[in-house]
Structure formats: C-alpha cells, structure tokens
C-alpha cells in the first residue's frame, strides 16, 4: 500500500504523540481526565508560568545531556485543578532517561517514514503508450552525454523502451536521472570497447568524446571507442538483426577545400595531427559500417553531425558555444582562437535529434549531413552571445589552434530530399535556452539545484 506524504506526516505526528503519552504514563501513572504539562524548575519559581522555566524546560526536553541545577525538582502539574506534585530528587535521572528513550523512538519513526517515502512511485513525464507491436527496444551508446540524453528524452516521450550504455567519461548520470526507475528505461554502466550482449531493435551509436579537449585527453582511447566500439555495435546489430545509426561528424571533411561540404566530398584530413584520433576514428567507423552492410547485410545509417549546441553541454568542453557563454556570464573577456574569421554553422540540439530519428526511420543508407546551413564567423557569433547575455565583455584574439578548420558549412540537400528535414530553431531562440541553462548551472551551490527536465510541447502539424 502506498501512502501519500500528507498521510505519512499525520502518521509521524500520531507516533510522536503516542510515544510521549506512553512515557508520561509509565513515569507518573494515568491521571484520568487531567491535562498534564512537564516542567523543570524551582518549586517556588512559578513553574512553567515563568518564561525562564519554560526555556529551561525546552532545553531539558530536547537535550537529555542537560542536567537540572542543584535545588531543582522535577514537577508534574495538573492544569485542571492547579495541583503540583514534586518528584523525589533520586527520580530525576530516571525521568531524563525515559525522555531520552522517547527521543530515540522518535528517530526510529523518522527513519521508517523516510523508508516509506522511498517506496512512493516517482512522478515522470507522461509518455506515449505504445503496444508491443509498435514499441521498440532501442540502445543508445553514449546516451548520458549531451546529444544522447536529448535523444533519450525524445524516444522515451514517444513510448519506446530505451537502454543507455555509457562509461561516463564525458557523459553524466544527472543528464538522464529524471528517467531512472521508469519501466521503459534502463541505464548500463558499460564501456563499448568491450562487447555488449543484449536484445534490441535499433542502435544509436553515439559513444565517443566529441570536443577537442576531451578526445585529445586520451587519443588512444578515442580511437578504440570509434573502431573497437563501432565493431562491437555492428556485431551486435548483426547478431540480433537490429538497425544501427552511426553518429559520424563533419570532422571527416577536415579543413575542407570544397565549400559548402556535400556528402560526396572525401575530405582534407591530417592523419597525424592532434585531431586525427577523432577525425580518422570517425572515418574508419564509416568504413566499418559499410563493410558490415556489404558483407553481413547489416542495416546501417550514417549521420555526419555538424556543430550542435544546447542545454547539457559541458561547461568546460572547449567549444566556442560553451566557452563564449560562460565567459560572457562571468563578465570575462571572450577569447577567440585565431582571427575570428573562421566560419561555423550551429544547429540546436532538438533539430539534430529530429534529423537522427528521421534518418533511422528512412530507407536511405548513404551518409547524410545533419547541420544548419546558415554560416557565421566566430567573431559574429561572439558578438551575438555577448548581446544575448547583456554583458560588456571584450572580445580578445588568441593564437590559432593547429588544424582548426577555416570554413564549415553543410550541404543538406540529401537531408531535405530523402528525410524532409531541415533545422527549424533560430540561433537566437536556441541561444536563449542555452544561456539560461548555463546561468542556472553557474548559480548552483548543491545537487538539488539542478536543471529539471521538462518536456517541450511537440508540434502536431
């Protein structure tokens, strides 16, 4: 039986009252029809009618270590007839010990109430109900990360069963904590460099550090995740007949000679540069995908993801969006690496999730660019963020980063043609939500002050 919080509070109050009545009954009998008050004070000091004695009474009540002063007596006053009974001095320790025992029993009741509260089912967003024919069992590797957690939210709200596998290198449990305990959700602490044996219908393979500081921190691990991890996911898809979507990246184009970048462009990548662990790792992941598709008939999809931003980004991931917003919110100088004339195309995370879901549901098997074709310079972007935050931060130029792409803009003709997809969230609208997220993160002083997931209203048109 599940009790409401109100009923448990009533139970607690009743329990406390019962314990105190029992203690008084054991100590001084049962004066029928009388209202009793307990006080500790001098016999000639007016007992509890005096504020000093009331204060001393409260101290004795709540701290059993406090001993009565010499000359004081434990008294019991009958309010009905104003009679006063004075206890023997030798009984004072016994009375205090009984009060101490009552306090211990109250603590036991508090613990039991906490245990009962823990049994109350958590409230979750109202997800769509799907019957067993329409409900899919979906694995998301890296599902506790920035993009993965938003994909989890979308698929959960659609009513599917979602399994997240994450080693929490860059992912965080708090990104998906609002689904913990839900009957359709499962979280597995697992590194996909090792095989995973489960039964699923679809696989979104998102596991990999995606920001330069993270993937450069352990380049060997980054390569293993994008090669061995991809092999394991493709092998799983082969065994269970699942459809698999590989999250590739615009970094496969390197520092491009072709602008904008279509999927037919083969790229311009430095295979031994500081970014190679990620760039070449993703290129090999694509090669593996189509090798499995050709040889083992695995049903694969490849999404080449361009710059994405939104809530749940790491504050220290080294990307321009998070760097600029944090610096602006703290009234620090906004630092650009290079002249600021480099261009990027930024898409909001909900647009990316829509694109990945559309790609998975389609019959198109070639790589597809998912990004925003609106191109902006880094300098312009810094000014937009500064104006959105409303600060007066200076924009400072720092030395350029090695192998930093100078131009980046997707050709999304395939996505429009085969997926009927294109970004819908304007840059400033997405930035307002992202800035608000970071503002709350910076203001946090404890775990309870976290950003709670609230599902956005979906467009039914």
The Cα-based distances of 206 to 147, 165, 336, 413 in angstroms read 8, 10, 28, 23
Is 278 designated active site?
yes
Stretch 259-273: mean pLDDT: 91
> Treating both helix axes as pointing N-terminal to C-terminal, what angle do 427-443 and 378-389 enclose, rounded to 10 degrees?
60
* Alpha-carbon span 420 to 364, nearest angstrom: 12
User: Do 113 and 119 form a contact (C-beta atoms < 8 A)?
Assistant: no
Query: What pLDDT, on a 0 to 100 scale, did the predictor assign at position 163?
Result: 98
pLDDT greater than 50 at residue 71: no
Residue 125 token pair = 């967003």
Q: For residues 70 and 395, which has the higher predicted lDDT (pLDDT)?
A: 395
Query: What pLDDT, on a 0 to 100 scale, did the predictor assign at position 32?
Result: 43
| Per-residue pLDDT tens over the stretch 209-239 | 877 777 778 888 999 999 999 999 999 999 9
Stretch 2-6: mean pLDDT: 53
Query: What pLDDT, on a 0 to 100 scale, did the predictor assign at position 82?
Result: 47
pTM: 0.73
pLDDT greater than 90 at residue 407: no
User: Do 378 and 344 form a contact (C-beta atoms < 8 A)?
Assistant: yes
Say whether 410 sits in a helix, a strand or coil.
strand
Residue 436 token pair = 């608000």
pLDDT greater than 60 at residue 398: yes
Pairing outcome for strands 73-78 and 83-86: antiparallel
Average pLDDT, the chain: 82
Residue with tokens 């904008």: 260
* Alpha-carbon span 165 to 203, nearest angstrom: 11
Of the candidates 154, 204, 278, 348, the residue annotated as catalytic is 278
pLDDT greater than 80 at residue 65: no
pLDDT greater than 70 at residue 35: no
Residue 302 token pair = 């490849």
Query: What pLDDT, on a 0 to 100 scale, did the predictor assign at position 195?
Result: 95
The Cα-based distances of 248 to 10, 287, 391 in angstroms read 56, 11, 36
Question: CA 249: distance to chain centroid?
Answer: 24
pLDDT greater than 80 at residue 451: no
Q: For residues 401 and 380, which has the higher predicted lDDT (pLDDT)?
A: 380
pLDDT greater than 60 at residue 193: yes
Say whether 166 sits in a helix, a strand or coil.
strand
Task: With cut-offs at 50, 70 and 90, classify the pLDDT of residue 119.
Answer: low
Stretch 241-248: mean pLDDT: 98
Task: With cut-offs at 50, 70 and 90, classify the pLDDT of residue 80.
Answer: very low
Q: For residues 210 and 344, which has the higher predicted lDDT (pLDDT)?
A: 344
**Cβ neighbourhood burial of 461 (10 Å; 0-12, 13-18, 19+):** exposed
Query: What pLDDT, on a 0 to 100 scale, did the predictor assign at position 341?
Result: 86
Contact residues for 195 (Cβ-Cβ < 8 A; gap 6+): 232, 235, 236
Name which of 115-124, 136-145, 242-251, 372-381 the model is least confident about: 115-124
């Amino acid at each position: 039986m599940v009790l409401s919080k109100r009923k448990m509070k009533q139970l607690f109050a009743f329990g406390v009252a019962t314990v105190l009545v029992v203690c008084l009954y054991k100590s001084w009998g049962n004066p029928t029809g009388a209202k009793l008050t307990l006080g500790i004070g001098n016999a000639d000091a007016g007992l509890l009618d005096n504020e000093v004695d009331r204060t001393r009474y409260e101290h004795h009540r709540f701290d059993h270590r406090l001993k009565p002063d010499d000359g004081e007596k434990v008294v019991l006053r009958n309010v009905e007839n104003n009679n006063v009974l004075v206890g023997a001095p030798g009984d004072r320790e016994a009375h205090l010990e009984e009060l101490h025992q009552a306090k211990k029993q109250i603590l036991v009741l508090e613990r039991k109430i906490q245990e009962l509260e823990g049994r109350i089912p958590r409230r979750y967003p109202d997800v769509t109900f799907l019957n067993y024919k329409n409900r899919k069992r979906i694995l998301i590797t890296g599902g506790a990360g920035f993009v993965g957690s938003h994909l989890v939210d979308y698929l959960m709200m659609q009513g599917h069963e979602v399994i997240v596998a994450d080693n929490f290198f860059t992912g965080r449990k708090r990104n998906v904590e609002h689904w913990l305990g839900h009957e359709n959700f499962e979280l597995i602490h697992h590194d996909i460099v090792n095989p995973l044996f489960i039964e699923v219908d679809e696989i979104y393979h998102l596991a990999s550090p995606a920001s330069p500081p993270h993937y450069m921190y352990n380049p060997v691990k980054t390569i293993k995740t994008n090669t061995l991890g991809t092999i394991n996911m493709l092998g799983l898809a082969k065994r269970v007949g699942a459809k698999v979507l590989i999250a590739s990246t615009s970094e496969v184009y390197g520092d491009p000679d072709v602008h904008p970048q279509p999927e037919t462009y083969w790229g311009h990548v430095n295979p031994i540069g500081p970014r190679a662990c990620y760039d070449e790792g993703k290129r090999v992941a694509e090669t593996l995908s189509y090798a499995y598709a050709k040889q083992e008939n695995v049903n694969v999809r490849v999404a080449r993801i361009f710059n994405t931003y939104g809530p749940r980004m790491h504050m220290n991931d080294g990307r321009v969006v998070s760097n600029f917003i944090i610096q602006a919110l703290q009234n620090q100088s906004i630092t650009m690496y290079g002249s600021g004339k480099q261009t990027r195309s930024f898409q909001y995370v909900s647009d990316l999730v829509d694109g990945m879901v559309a790609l998975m549901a389609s019959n198109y098997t070639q790589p597809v660019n998912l990004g925003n074709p609106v191109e902006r310079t880094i300098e312009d972007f810094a000014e937009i963020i500064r104006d959105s935050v409303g600060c007066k931060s200076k924009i400072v130029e720092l030395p350029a980063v090695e192998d930093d792409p100078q131009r980046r803009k997707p050709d999304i003709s395939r996505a429009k043609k085969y997926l009927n997809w294109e970004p819908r969230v304007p840059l400033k609208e997405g930035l307002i939500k992202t800035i608000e997220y970071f503002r709350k993160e910076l203001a946090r002083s404890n775990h309870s002050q976290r950003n709670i997931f609230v599902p956005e209203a979906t467009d039914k048109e």
